[in-house]
Amino acid sequence: MEIVSRTENKLLNRVEIDFKWNHKSTKTPSKKEVMDLVKTLEPGSNPDFIVVKNCKTRYGQALTTGQALIYETAAAMKVEPEYIHERHKGFRSGNASEEASEVSPEEAAEEPKEGDE
């Protein structure tokens, strides 16, 4: 993987990396493989705070380009839309099981309690 550009965005508390990956004689990398490689390129980064966007593989070429955003905190990640969080939920450590067990206050208010019937 080759880093095309690396920008530290202090306003959004993240590092923005544009990358180019020449994967000749191998299959197109998955989002998980890209996230793992970005983690090694940016030492000290938390894999739960990495977002991979705009991955494109050129037809007939073994070249994938994209952008990786490495946030410093979970609070900083709130700028990402909800659908981005949904796409990356399966790659987070323990996120899927924790979020499934949590019930939002709005949902709790709608659920009937025992003896309310």
Write out pLDDT tens, residues 25-52. 788 877 888 888 888 887 777 878 888 8
Phi/psi for 50 (5° steps) reads -105, 130
- Domains of the chain, earliest start first: 2-100 (3.30.70.330)
Order of all β-strands in the sheet with 2-9: 2-9, 14-22, 63-71, 50-57
Written as one letter, the residue type at 96 is A
- pLDDT for the residue 117: 47
- pLDDT for the residue 94: 55
- Report which DSSP code applies to 104: -
Query: Residue 48's CB: how many other CB atoms inside 10 A?
Result: 14
Residue 100 has pLDDT above 60, yes or no: no
Tokens of 55: 């991955």
- pLDDT for the residue 101: 35
